[in-house]
Chain A
Amino acid sequence: MNKYYLGVDLGSTTSKAVIINEQDEIIGRGITNTRANYSVAADIAKDEAIYNARFSILKKKLEAEIKSNPAYSKYINDLESVFQYEQFKIRLDKLGEELLKTCYTFFKDAAVQEKMIQHLRNIRKAFKPVIKHEYLYNNLGAKNQFFRDIVSEKYNDEVNKLEMSLFEPLMTVWDKSISPAENQLITFNFKELVEKAMDELREKYKNIPDEVMENTSVNFDAELNLLKGNFEKVYETLRVHIDEIAGLEFNITNMTGTGYGRALLPFPQECIRSEILCHAFGAHAVFPDTRTVLDIGGQDTKAIQVDRYGLVTSFQMNDRCAAGCGRYLGYIADEMSISLNELGPMALKAEKEVNICSTCTVFAGAELRELTNLGEKREDILGGLHKAIIMRAMSLLARSGGVFNEFTFTGGVARNPAVIKYLSELVKENYGDQIKINIHIDSIFMGALGGAMFARRNMNLSLPTGKAETA
């Protein structure tokens, strides 16, 4: 039987899970936001990683076919996306129940109750097809990652269309309902959902128009027709394989928990590892020549030096000040009323970097407003803010001993393009052009990956005990 290893990284903002096989290859990734309690977050992330693992095993099984027919790969990605939609629908039903419950307890007047429930129904009716479409056509983009984010954006849009007097009560109902809905651990029936997803996909491809539209390019349309035709052809083969992966048992041989919530995990003591070790080990596994690791997480920043085995030789940590961590960006996004994922791209448009003096997250909000009042452009202020974060990281790196080749950047903040821009500039400026900077697409999963790798390597091992010897 195949052996799998699980790493769970419970961060302050998101919880990540990674499953690897005996060859240290990532076969499953799962991520959720950590608004839920840590043990629910760990379970959700783990379940997600297992679903994802099934899809990657499916891809592996079809490796030969995918080579000869690249469309296969697209079908599987589509299938996973629609599968996620099926999960989403179930959680949306839970949210619906919570919203109703809240309405009944919150509004005492029957007429008001009825009115609010009607509004909630309309809201749901309005956004459900939009979300379905986004899932089906992969239009969700990077900005909507979690259930809460996806639904809240749409909910807000719909509420804003209604009259002002409804805003307050509808938002209150939302606030009271979202967390209970989000924090429920739902066990999904993989086979059932994936079958539903297959049917949805079949519909999707069937409905692709046969005729060439005037306003679409010939190439694009030809591609669509090809997809459509092929899907029918592979449908049956795909089903056989899906039955197989749905029945696959995931034997997690060992696991490691890491991150801020690690002490709260129901794992035995020896299965818990510091996130410092895990980030370093994960980063080193992906980029074996890594010597310096910078991890900017939600609530701390770490500069880590590693040796050729990926073992930490020293680290410096900012665990006192939020300015310089992911939370700082979250706070700024809130202050500017934009989504976290829009910050980086907006900062990239800066023509200059406004000097940000505040070394405090909370006061940065005041400074931001001051600068706006002085007529500074939002983009330029954001440019300055991003640079300020990196300046702090540079000082931490210097404290830890500097940057050695190669340099790997991990953590959720590594997804922000403006952060990457300023980091690259400043690393090269301070440590020379020769430094190779690594940023992996899975940078947010590095801690969980390192954890999973420790789980594999620490199997059946006990520490060598020191024998008595006399000096």
Chain B
Amino acid sequence: MSNKATEAIKEKSMVIQKDMLANLFHELSKTKETGKKVVYTFVPGNLTELILSFDMLPVYPEINALQSGMRKKSASYIRDAEKLGFSEDVCTYVKCDIGMMLNGNIGPTGEKLPAPDLLLLSYTGCFTFMKWFENLERLYPGVPVAMLHTPYQEDGNITPEQVEYMVKQLKEDVIPKMEKVSGKRFDMERLAKMMVNSAKAEDLLVKILETAKNKPSPIDAYFAGVYYIGPIFTAFRGTDEAVEYYKELYAEVTERLKQGLGPVTPEGELKEEKFRLVVEGPPNWTNFREFWKIFYDAGAVIVASSYTKVGGVYDLGFRHNPEEPLESLSKYCMGCYTNMNLPQRVKLLADYVKEYKADGFLINSIKSCNSFSAGQLMIMREIEQRMEVPVGFIESDLVDPRYFSYANIKNRLESYFQMLEQRKIIMAQEAEKVM
């Protein structure tokens, strides 16, 4: 391989996405001049269309944290937050974000992020989110807070009463606060119009992710998947740009499929798909490339993952609906992956193993993330027993590099890939015996 090996190969869609993000951060840096209001909010259960319908701009602290992780800035941010008194055990997204603020709140493009005009907590399934915004409220004294209490899917479904409860909160608390902050009246029609775009992009995303059902898969639904979900899970859902991005991406992926090509890795196209895996849990961001490399070097492709569903499990059928904008926002909040109960998650993952013809199931357990890590051992055991595929378990962290032990992770993953390989060898021998 040439010495350009370290230079990532970029598809056209990636360039489009990069421009979209650059424009957003630029716009954010200019809010003083433009007078646009800024809403800090989270990815799971985000109300992006609603925010955009008031001409406000969203900022996602956990996305900033993961970007800081990828840019190798998180270690010092976390250290600064710990100096302030945050314990070693606090979620590293929180500490990374706080550390970034303490260091001037410079975003991933090098431009300064504006202070929030509103803290919108739209998903309460993660208690850390609540504590996070309590801290931000102290760091930005006087900032208004809107909290939408999202009921957990305790019984595995969303009831009409729950939707009613959510809509009531939107109408009585969230929307009035947004009107006050933005100085604009709520425009239901505008919101509904955006939702037409949301549904279009959602349809395309599902089609893209489902191309991984093919052998070989034209995409890696985890390591590349985290890029694919970028626009729709963050500031662009409901926009024309997002629809254009997903059209382009879908065209690229279908072209790869037509040519029978494997996924694109930072070192070029994967030549041979040896193992197909379903992965549960977020990736590690501080050593993302190194982590990915262990997989593609072994010919392991992730065909489905739960992480690419944190901002919406669209493959289960949910779409934002212009006919009932507030109701569908409510259903969306309640339907995100970490708001599903454990039996639902197990079923989803077991279905993935079957539908995507996976050879194995792997968990990357994150020290920082309670919403994800709780129940993972049970999930693993269930998948092992129900689907009779080898399961693997590795441990790392979101953005704290102290918890990414390359040697340990590589050793475990190597063992896991050998488990899958040996299974193929022995099963082939057993099949021969029968014949």
Contact: A319 with B384, CB < 8 Å? no
* Shortest Cβ distance from A281 into B: residue: B422
Taking the complex as formed, is A1 at the interface, i.e. its CB lies under 8 A from any CB of chain B? no
Interface string of B400-414 (1 = CB under 8 A from A): 000001001001101
Task: Looking at the assembled complex, report how far the CB atom of B365 sits from the nearest CB atom of chain A, in whole angstroms.
Answer: 11
Contact: B408 with A311, CB < 8 Å? no
- Contact partner, B384, options A399, A401, A461, A470, Cβ 8 Å: A401
Within 8 A of A (CB), among B399-435: 405, 408, 411-412, 414-415, 418-419, 421-430
Report chain B residues within 8 Å CB of A401: 380-381, 384
Taking the complex as formed, is B274 at the interface, i.e. its CB lies under 8 A from any CB of chain A? yes
Segment with Cβ contacts to A, from B44-52, B77-85, B385-393: B385-393
Segment with Cβ contacts to B, from A148-156, A272-280, A365-373, A376-384: A272-280
Taking the complex as formed, is B216 at the interface, i.e. its CB lies under 8 A from any CB of chain A? yes
Within 8 A of B (CB), among A247-287: 273-277
* Shortest Cβ distance from B357 into A: residue: A471
Contact: A312 with B214, CB < 8 Å? no
Taking the complex as formed, is B260 at the interface, i.e. its CB lies under 8 A from any CB of chain A? yes
Task: Looking at the assembled complex, report how far the CB atom of A51 sits from the nearest CB atom of chain B, in whole angstroms.
Answer: 31
Taking the complex as formed, is A129 at the interface, i.e. its CB lies under 8 A from any CB of chain B? no
Taking the complex as formed, is A317 at the interface, i.e. its CB lies under 8 A from any CB of chain B? yes
* Shortest Cβ distance from A320 into B: residue: B408
Task: Looking at the assembled complex, report how far the CB atom of B310 sits from the nearest CB atom of chain A, in whole angstroms.
Answer: 24
Given contacts A309-B426, A457-B425, whether A277 and B415 have CB atoms under 8 Å apart is yes
Once bound together, how far apart are the Cα atoms of A320 and B409, in whole Å? 11
Taking the complex as formed, is A315 at the interface, i.e. its CB lies under 8 A from any CB of chain B? yes
Contact: B415 with A274, CB < 8 Å? yes
Contact: B422 with A277, CB < 8 Å? yes
Task: Looking at the assembled complex, report how far the CB atom of B100 sits from the nearest CB atom of chain A, in whole angstroms.
Answer: 29
Taking the complex as formed, is B72 at the interface, i.e. its CB lies under 8 A from any CB of chain A? no
Report chain B residues within 8 Å CB of A399: 377
Taking the complex as formed, is A466 at the interface, i.e. its CB lies under 8 A from any CB of chain B? yes
Task: Looking at the assembled complex, report how far the CB atom of A304 sits from the nearest CB atom of chain B, in whole angstroms.
Answer: 10
* Shortest Cβ distance from B273 into A: residue: A466
* Shortest Cβ distance from B211 into A: residue: A471
Contact: B429 with A457, CB < 8 Å? yes
- Contact partner, B390, options A314, A319, A457, A467, Cβ 8 Å: A314
Task: Looking at the assembled complex, report how far the CB atom of B379 sits from the nearest CB atom of chain A, in whole angstroms.
Answer: 12
Taking the complex as formed, is B215 at the interface, i.e. its CB lies under 8 A from any CB of chain A? yes
Given contacts A274-B418, A309-B426, A314-B384, whether A465 and B213 have CB atoms under 8 Å apart is no
Report chain B residues within 8 Å CB of A468: 214-216, 260
- Contact partner, B411, options A307, A319, A463, Cβ 8 Å: A319
Question: On chain B, which size bracket covers the interface?
Answer: 35 or more
Given contacts A320-B408, A399-B377, whether A315 and B415 have CB atoms under 8 Å apart is yes
- Contact partner, B425, options A275, A319, A458, A469, Cβ 8 Å: A458
Contact: A463 with B430, CB < 8 Å? no
Taking the complex as formed, is A454 at the interface, i.e. its CB lies under 8 A from any CB of chain B? yes
Interface centre among A311, A461, A469 (most CB of B within 10 A): A311
Contact: B273 with A311, CB < 8 Å? no
Contact: A313 with B216, CB < 8 Å? no
Taking the complex as formed, is B272 at the interface, i.e. its CB lies under 8 A from any CB of chain A? yes
Interface string of A436-463 (1 = CB under 8 A from B): 0000000000000000001001100101
Once bound together, how far apart are the Cα atoms of A273 and B214, in whole Å? 30
Contact: B412 with A463, CB < 8 Å? no
Report chain B residues within 8 Å CB of A317: 412
Interface of B is mostly: helix
Report chain B residues within 8 Å CB of A276: 415, 419
- Contact partner, A469, options B215, B272, B414, B421, Cβ 8 Å: B215
Report chain A residues within 8 Å CB of B414: 274
Task: Looking at the assembled complex, report how far the CB atom of A153 sits from the nearest CB atom of chain B, in whole angstroms.
Answer: 35
Given contacts A320-B408, A458-B425, A464-B424, whether A471 and B214 have CB atoms under 8 Å apart is yes
Once bound together, how far apart are the Cα atoms of A42 and B274, in whole Å? 31
Report chain A residues within 8 Å CB of B272: 465
Taking the complex as formed, is A358 at the interface, i.e. its CB lies under 8 A from any CB of chain B? no
Once bound together, how far apart are the Cα atoms of A464 and B274, in whole Å? 9
Interface centre among A309, A312, A316, A464 (most CB of B within 10 A): A312
Report chain A residues within 8 Å CB of B273: 466
Contact: B419 with A312, CB < 8 Å? yes
Interface string of B215-252 (1 = CB under 8 A from A): 11000000000000000000000000000000000000
Contact: A314 with B380, CB < 8 Å? yes
* Shortest Cβ distance from B411 into A: residue: A319
Within 8 A of A (CB), among B264-286: 272-274
Given contacts A468-B215, A468-B216, whether A454 and B391 have CB atoms under 8 Å apart is no
Task: Looking at the assembled complex, report how far the CB atom of B98 sits from the nearest CB atom of chain A, in whole angstroms.
Answer: 27
Once bound together, how far apart are the Cα atoms of A179 and B272, in whole Å? 46
Task: Looking at the assembled complex, report how far the CB atom of B231 sits from the nearest CB atom of chain A, in whole angstroms.
Answer: 25
Task: Looking at the assembled complex, report how far the CB atom of B393 sits from the nearest CB atom of chain A, in whole angstroms.
Answer: 6
Report chain B residues within 8 Å CB of A454: 422
Once bound together, how far apart are the Cα atoms of A468 and B214, in whole Å? 8
Given contacts A313-B390, A314-B391, A469-B215, whether A464 and B426 have CB atoms under 8 Å apart is no
Interface string of A301-332 (1 = CB under 8 A from B): 00001010101111111011000000000000
Once bound together, how far apart are the Cα atoms of A458 and B423, in whole Å? 11
- Contact partner, A314, options B393, B411, B425, B430, Cβ 8 Å: B393
- Contact partner, A463, options B260, B391, B424, Cβ 8 Å: B424
Once bound together, how far apart are the Cα atoms of A316 and B427, in whole Å? 23
Report chain A residues within 8 Å CB of B421: 463
Contact: A309 with B430, CB < 8 Å? yes
Once bound together, how far apart are the Cα atoms of A162 and B237, in whole Å? 85
Report chain A residues within 8 Å CB of B430: 309
Once bound together, how far apart are the Cα atoms of A468 and B384, in whole Å? 26
Contact: B415 with A311, CB < 8 Å? no
Contact: A311 with B274, CB < 8 Å? no
Once bound together, how far apart are the Cα atoms of A454 and B422, in whole Å? 9
Contact: A312 with B408, CB < 8 Å? no
- Contact partner, A311, options B260, B377, B411, B426, Cβ 8 Å: B426
- Contact partner, B216, options A314, A315, A466, Cβ 8 Å: A466
Task: Looking at the assembled complex, report how far the CB atom of A276 sits from the nearest CB atom of chain B, in whole angstroms.
Answer: 4
Contact: A463 with B418, CB < 8 Å? no
* Shortest Cβ distance from A454 into B: residue: B422
Task: Looking at the assembled complex, report how far the CB atom of A38 sits from the nearest CB atom of chain B, in whole angstroms.
Answer: 16
Task: Looking at the assembled complex, report how far the CB atom of A223 sits from the nearest CB atom of chain B, in whole angstroms.
Answer: 49
Interface string of A97-112 (1 = CB under 8 A from B): 0000000000000000
Task: Looking at the assembled complex, report how far the CB atom of A199 sits from the nearest CB atom of chain B, in whole angstroms.
Answer: 48
Within 8 A of A (CB), among B167-221: 210, 213-216
Residues of chain B whose beta carbon lies under 8 Å from any beta carbon of chain A: 210, 213-216, 257, 260, 272-274, 377, 380-381, 384, 388-393, 405, 408, 411-412, 414-415, 418-419, 421-430
Residues of chain A whose beta carbon lies under 8 Å from any beta carbon of chain B: 273-277, 305, 307, 309, 311-317, 319-320, 399, 401, 454, 457-458, 461, 463-471
With A277-B419, A463-B274, A471-B215 already in contact, 12 other A-B pairs whose C-beta atoms are closer than 8 Å: A274-B414, A274-B418, A275-B415, A276-B415, A312-B415, A312-B422, A315-B393, A315-B415, A317-B412, A464-B428, A470-B257, A471-B213
Q: Which 4 A-B pairs have the closest CB atoms?
A: A471-B213, A274-B415, A276-B415, A314-B391
